[in-house]
Structure formats: C-alpha cells, structure tokens
Amino acid sequence: MKAAVGRGVPVALYLVLILVPLILALERLMFVTGVNPIQAILHLDEHPFGVDAVVFTFVQAILSATLTLMLGLPIAWWLGRYEWKRIGIIRAALTLPFVTPTVVAAMGFLAMIKQGGLLDSIGIDLRNETGVVGSFSSMIGVEHSGHIIALLLAHAWFNLALVIRFVEPKISTLPPRYENAFRMLPIGHSRLNRLTQFWWPMLRTSILSAFVFTFIFSFTSFALVRWLAPNMWTLEALMAVEGGAAGIPGYRVDVSVLVLGGATLQGLVLLSALAFAGRWQQKQSNEIELVSENFSRKYIGKPTTVPRIGVVVATVYALTPLFLMVLSSVRIRNRTSESYRWSLDAWDYAFRGDLTYASIPEALTNSLVYAGGCLVVSCILGFFVAQSIHNLEQNGQARFAQLVDLLSMLPLALSGVMVGLGVLLGILKIWPVLFSWYALPILPHAMLTTPFVVRILLPAMREIDSSYDDAGKVLGYTTMQRFVRIKLPLLKPQIVVAAALSMAFSLGEFGASWILMRSGAWDTLPVLVDQLMSRPKYFDLVEPIAMATATILMCMTFLLFVIAERFRSHQGGGF
Amino acid sequence: MSLTIKQLNVVIGQYHILHNLNLQVKSDEIVAILGPSGCGKTTLLRTIAGLQKQQSGTISLNNQSIQDMLCEHRGIGMLFQRPVLFPFKDVLGNILFAYQNKKFWNRDDVHEVMNEMGLLGKEQQSIETLSGGEAQRVVLARTLLTNPDLLLLDEPLSALDVNLRRKIAHEIRAVLKSRSIPAIHVTHDIAEAEIIGDRVLHWKELQRGGDDEE
C-alpha cells in the first residue's frame, strides 16, 4: 500500500505538472478570445498569416518527411545489409544530426548556404536565390523556393538518423533464412516481387513510423524555419513570434485566437500522428524473432561500390554543415573587401560576452544548471511513471496502464513553443512571481524530456526477468534493498541513456526557452546564438561569434551523445 | 528445523493448483518430490518461500507459523530452475549478495563455501563465461552463506546433461547433509530424486491427501 502511494505521488505530480499549466493557459485564451479551441481553428484566418502558416506547415512537413525517406532508406538498406568496418562509427556519424540542437543545425546550414559559403561557391545560391536557383524559382513560380529547398534539405539532414534508427536494425537483425525461404518460392524469383511482397511487409511499420516522426519534427520545427526560411511562416514559428501578445484581454485578440487555434490544430495533428505511430510500433514488436546484427551482415558480406559511395556521401552530408559551422567561427569575412581572414577573435569576444548580455561561460553555466535540473526532475518522474505503468501491467490493470501511458506521452504531442506558451500563460495566472524564479525553465524542459525517459525505461523494465526480484526476496532483501542493489544496477544502462539524452535535449531546447527568457541573466546557449544572429551584421564578428557559441553547444551535446551511445542497444529498431 | 504444511490451497486464476496439500519435512531431512512438468511442484515451492499467495492452510517452520510472513523474513533459501545470477557482478560479487550489508561479509565463510563448491580461483570471472553447472554452484554458494533454515530446490539441475546432473546432485546432497539443512527438492527425474532425497514422494500421493509420513 505504502509503495503504491509512493509511486502514485510522482505520477500525480507529473500529470499535474503537465496538465495544470496547459489547462490554465487554455482557459485564459478561451476567456480572452471568447471562442472554444475548435472554433479558434476555424478563426485562424483572422490573423494575416494564419492560413498561409497552416498550409506551409503541412506542405513542408510532408515534403520533408518524403525527402528524408528518399534519402534515408537507401542508406539504411546498405547499412543493414552489408558487413561494414567500423559500423559503430559510421552509425554514430549518421546519427549526429538528430542529436544536434536545432539552433546548431540552423547555424551549420547557414554556414553552408550563406554568401561565400560552400554551395554559393559552386553556383548554388539558396540564400539570395540568384543564378540557377533564381531561374528555378521563376520557372516553378514559387516565391523563396531557395529558402524552401534549404529548409527541406535541413529537415532531411536532421531526421536522416530517424529513418536509419527505425529501419536499419530491422534489416540487420532479420534472420537470413526468411529471405532465403522466400527466394525459393516462384513468387520470390523476381527482385520487384521480393521488394513488394517480402521487404515491404517486413519493413513497412518501421518505414511508416520513421515517416510519422519525421513529419512530427518537421511540423514543429522552429529554429530551422526561423533562420533558413525567414520569409515563410509555420504555425510553430508564427506562434512563437506572436505569442508574447497572447492572453491579454482586449489586446491583439487575433494573436490569442492564433495561439489557441494553432496550438489546438497542432496538438490534434501530433496526437493523431503519434497514435498511428504507436499502433504501428505495437504491431511491429514481437512479430518475428531477431538474430545478432553481425550474423545477418556476415551472411551478405562486404559492400559493393555503389553502397560504399552512398554511405560515404551520406556521412559527408551529415558532417559537412557541422564542420562548416566550426570553420565559420574562425574564418571571418571582411565586410568591405569580400575577402576572408583566419582569426580566433570571435572566440575571444564570445568568451568575454562583449556583444551579448551573457558570455559563453555564463550561458553555458545557465544551460548546465537547467540541464542538470531537468535531468534530476525528468529521470525521477520518468522512472516512477514507467514503474507505475509497469506495475499496473503486471497487476492485470492493462487499461489503466494504457491510460497512464497515453497521458505520459502527452508532451510528445506538444512542441517546445506550445509548452513554453503553456507555462507562460498558465503560470501567469496562478503564480506570476515564478517569472522571476531562475529555475523556471527547468519546468518546460522537464515536461518535454520526461516522456523520452518513460519511453526508454519502460521497455527495459518490461524486459527484466521477475526471477531477479524473486532471488532478492529469498536472499532476504527488503523492497528498498532490492530496488537499490538489484533493480537500479539492472537498469543502469537505460538510466544512463535517459539521463544523457534528457540533458542533451535540455541543453539544445530552443522553443520553450526562447518564449520564456528572451534576453537576460538566464540566457542559455541556444538563446544566445539566436540573439547574436538577430543582431545587425555591421560588425564582421557577429556571425562568427554565433558560430563559436553554437560550436560549444554542439560539443556539449556530442559529449552526452557519446555517453548515451556507449550504453544504447542496437537491437529492435526503435527510437 | 522442521517444516509442516497443512491443508494448503493455492488458486491461480481459475486453476486450483494445490488442493488441501499436507507435507512434513523433519529436521535435517531432504524430501524429493517427483512429478511431471506443470503439475504444481514449482507453485508449492514458491508458496512455501512466500513468492506465491495461498488461499488457505498453514505453513510452519520449526513450529512457528510463517504463512503470513513476507518472503524476505522467512529464512528460506531457494534455487530456481534457471540459475539467477546478477549480470552486473562477477562470481564473487554474486556470492557476496548473500550479505545484505556488504561491510559485514565474513572472508573465512566465503572462502570455505567457495572451496566446497569448487569455485576458488573464479572470483573475478564474469558470470557470462560460466557453464550451467558452475552457475548453479555459484547460486548454491550464495544461498548457503545466508544460513537458510530450509532450502527449496526447484529442478535446479534440469538444464544440465545427465552425467553432470548426477555429479552435482551428489554434491548438493553432501553439502546439505554436512550442514544439516533440511530441503525440499522437486524434479521429474527419478534418478536425481533418489540421489538427493532421503525420501521420495510422488506428486499424486501428495495431491491425494498428503504426505505418507503423516
């Protein structure tokens, strides 16, 4: 009984943390606008950019997800089929973009497409849309098509890892005898039949899941849209920029309608997408037994020329923006002469904080404090939520377990900006003094990362054999002793992964932080980068300083990624 | 230490697994229970250990009723069908799990029991490299160090080949006798039951009304 209450408290606390700010924010917006959330969707056209933002959000998300699959599927196929030397390093390099903070990704792509950048130097000017890109724009009659192409490429770059993570393990761990048996049948003689009748049914759940998650991330993308397609609006970007005026009675009601309708529409779309993905993933689990990836790879053998070239190109594609970003922090363009010089001046300025309110050490300290706080809160809450769901499942209360599981995933259906606005408007109502509390950003960060902790720990808990607990009992261990000496060590790899990822997500979190802190002593590294990029570029070091700050953020994130990668299991094909 | 079970009933879901079961194990006695797979042998042991709830009946260890005690307070050791070793510890680390407070482990006792089980020199070995027989020896060593009042053996040798099974069965019997630990050993292997047990009971007899010693 005590244990049940002990577990129930963190679950209740977590649900309160998620739901209360959102419900209060919703109530405030409904009061200000006088319409309910569904009506607000129908009134989105009251805002001058509302309808355009909805259309562009859907179009770019679908195109991004399609492009990501087109680029990612061949790579996943080649990686999964053949025996690669140093597969761990290749896989880590291809996964890097996904753990890269979106602000860093935006800086990396800017470094690649800017005037004098790599693409510009070979005649592809996506930024100012001159030359080939300009002609292409005029031909198809789409304004800012260069920006849109850059955005789609960046989304594909960012989400490539998702396709690989979902699909590649499915291919590499499938016992070769299945394919051999199919090839022996008359229907399996043709390559097309093997693709449509064998591989598609085997891989479709993973492919569709990858598509849905890429769609979700592109749908809620903010930093990339803000910096790569500055003339285009997605719902997320529009809500973030306009959101500061929402929730004030009698002032800019169209903005409140936009936030209420946009958030509702976004929530509905994301929830539906997550429900589809969840259903497919449920189908995917336990369909077939798997073998060691090395066994399956050895069976096919070493890669031929085309896969080799493909994987090399993909790896270069994954690393180039990051490399160019680092380079841009030391390669400084003279505003007058169009020439470049090599210098560490930008790093010097960045560490002194001469152009910003906070210097790199100050912003890094803030980022680390918030990430540390987020780690503690999300790991503790996530652990107990996962434990409660697992206990309910074991006690035969499957439906209640599903309900708690669904509620725990709710923040996955919310974007950073939505959570930031929820906290902003919700806290404003119940306890405005919290806005001067330094630790406030930990709340939205923990809201956004706890579902990931639950998703990492819950499958691990399900996999632990109950005989370990039984053995602890017959050795005379109390519940607490079994928890500390048996359960925690068994879950240690997943706890490390969850802790590292929640820290990494918090370090790179931009949308909610941007809403809540703007500028001041709380600035985190992503907010600092955004501040710098928003400044006029009269001073030639402004952009290199932003690149230097983004480089520090990238290094911190990659360190955590390496830690997580050391403990991550590569079996199964999941997130 | 003696064990007395009277009118024990265990129902799992819609299945009445143990029906008015009676059993007596005398001090220092090893009782082997022989029965086919799925008959309820494991359920009996798990109920005695406190890992499975009972519906009615009494279980007494040395004339003290234990059926309402938590498993961890019963003072009963158990070897499961599959050796349960903690993957994050080496051989010695697993054996030291016998001590709830690691500070108080007795070096002489550990050395003695490891010697008895033929595990000396394997202290730092990873448990993944152990054979099935060695793994069960580690579990037995760990259990012996807890000084159990009663030992329950749930087909611990079933995964081993016949020759090794016979050899370890003899070893288990010798260890239990030298330490005067009463035990219940369940198995479906007649030869194994006869090697380990002082007395062999057939499951059907137990289910028909009880222990033939009553």
Average of per-residue pLDDT values in chain A: 85
| Residues A474, B49 contacting (CB under 8 angstroms) | yes
What are the DSSP calls for A507-541, one per residue? Answer: HH--HHHHHHHSSSTT--HHHHHHHHHHS-TTSTT
Average pLDDT over residues A497-508: 90
What pLDDT was estimated at residue A86?
83
Average pLDDT over residues B143-158: 92
Question: In terms of domains, do A548 and A432 share one?
Answer: yes
Q: A492–B142: do the CB atoms touch at under 8 Å?
A: no
Q: Which residues of B touch A481 (CB under 8 A)?
A: 100
Percent of chain A topping pLDDT 70: 93
Q: Which residues of A touch B75 (CB under 8 A)?
A: 476
What pLDDT was estimated at residue B114?
92
Question: In terms of domains, do A411 and A518 share one?
Answer: yes
Q: Which residue has the higher pLDDT, A537 or A53?
A: A53
Q: A467–B84: do the CB atoms touch at under 8 Å?
A: yes
CA B174 vs. chain centroid, Å, equals 15
Is A339 a member of any domain? Answer: no
What pLDDT was estimated at residue A569?
56
ipTM greater than 0.90, yes or no?
no
State which of A328, A361, A382 marks the end of a domain: A328
Q: What does the buried/exposed string (b/e) look like for A491-524 if buried means 16 or more CB atoms within 10 Å of the residue's CB?
A: bebbbbbbbbbbbbbbbbbbbbbbbbbeeeebbb
Is A412 a member of any domain? Answer: yes
Distance from CA of A442 to the nearest CA of B (A): 33
Average pLDDT over residues A540-553: 90
Question: Which among B61, B97, B138 is the top mutation candidate for probing chain A, defined by the most A β-carbons within 10 Å of its own β-carbon?
Answer: B97
State which of A301, A328, A355 marks the end of a domain: A328
Question: In terms of domains, do A24 and A171 share one?
Answer: no
Among the partner residues A472, A474, A478, nearest to B77 by beta-carbon distance: A474
Nearest C-alpha in B relative to A396: B13
Q: What is the CA radius of gyration of chain B?
A: 17
Q: A489–B88: do the CB atoms touch at under 8 Å?
A: yes
Does the pLDDT value for residue A493 go beyond 80? yes
Question: In terms of domains, do A213 and A165 share one?
Answer: yes
Nearest C-alpha in A relative to B81: A467
Residues 155-194 of B with CB under 8 A from A: none
Does the pLDDT value for residue A123 go beyond 70? yes
Is A481 a member of any domain? Answer: yes
Encoded tokens for A198 = 């064998």
- The one-letter amino acid code at B1 reads M
Question: A415-428 pLDDT, tens per residue?
Answer: 788 888 888 777 77
What pLDDT was estimated at residue B34?
92
B204 inside 8 A of chain A by CB: no
Question: In terms of domains, do A22 and A133 share one?
Answer: no
What pLDDT was estimated at residue A298?
65
Residues on chain A bordering chain B, Cβ-to-Cβ distance under 8 angstroms: 465, 467-468, 470-478, 481, 485-486, 489-490, 492
The domain total for chain A is: 2
Q: Which residue has the higher pLDDT, A9 or A239?
A: A239
Does the pLDDT value for residue A27 go beyond 90? no
What pLDDT was estimated at residue A292?
60
Residue span of the structural domain in which A310 resides? 35-328
| Residues B112, A445 contacting (CB under 8 angstroms) | no
Q: Which residues of B touch A492 (CB under 8 A)?
A: 88
Question: A152-207 pLDDT, tens per residue?
Answer: 999 999 999 889 988 988 888 887 788 888 888 888 888 898 888 888 988 888 89
Domain boundaries, chain B: 3-89+147-208
Does the pLDDT value for residue B163 go beyond 70? yes
Question: A241-300 pLDDT, tens per residue?
Answer: 888 778 888 888 888 999 899 989 988 998 888 888 777 765 655 555 555 666 666 667
- The one-letter amino acid code at A507 reads L
Does the pLDDT value for residue A77 go beyond 80? yes
Residues 6+ apart with CB under 8 A from A512: A416, A417, A419, A420, A423, A441, A444, A445, A448
Q: Which residues of B touch A478 (CB under 8 A)?
A: 72
Query: What dihedral do alpha carbons B81, B85, B87, B88 form, nearest 10°?
Result: 160
What pLDDT was estimated at residue A575?
43
Of A251-255, A316-320, A548-552, give the lowest mean pLDDT range: A251-255
| Residues A387, A461 contacting (CB under 8 angstroms) | yes
Could you tell me the pTM of the whole model? Answer: 0.80
Question: In terms of domains, do A44 and A25 share one?
Answer: no
Of A446, A455, A412, the residue nearest A270 (C-alpha): A412
Q: A474–B75: do the CB atoms touch at under 8 Å?
A: no
Question: In terms of domains, do A2 and A123 share one?
Answer: no
Terminal C-alpha separation, chain A: 34
| Residues A447, A18 contacting (CB under 8 angstroms) | yes
Question: In terms of domains, do A411 and A296 share one?
Answer: no
Question: In terms of domains, do A306 and A364 share one?
Answer: no
Question: B55-79 pLDDT, tens per residue?
Answer: 999 999 988 999 899 998 999 999 9
Encoded tokens for A509 = 């979190």
B87 inside 8 A of chain A by CB: yes
Residue A489 sits in a domain whose CATH number is 1.10.3720.10
Percent of chain B topping pLDDT 70: 97
Question: In terms of domains, do A215 and A233 share one?
Answer: yes
Question: In terms of domains, do A272 and A419 share one?
Answer: no
CATH class of B3-89+147-208: alpha beta
Is A337 a member of any domain? Answer: no
The C-alpha atoms of residue A565 and residue A91 are separated, in whole angstroms, by: 10
Is A338 a member of any domain? Answer: no
- The one-letter amino acid code at B210 reads G
Query: What dihedral do alpha carbons A270, A276, A278, A279 form, nearest 10°?
Result: 160
Q: B73–A476: do the CB atoms touch at under 8 Å?
A: yes
Average pLDDT over residues A292-313: 80
The C-alpha atoms of residue A302 and residue A82 are separated, in whole angstroms, by: 5
Hey, how many other C-beta atoms are within 10 angstroms of the C-beta on A16? 11
Question: A428-481 pLDDT, tens per residue?
Answer: 777 778 778 888 889 889 988 998 899 889 888 988 888 999 999 999 999 899
Is A336 a member of any domain? Answer: no
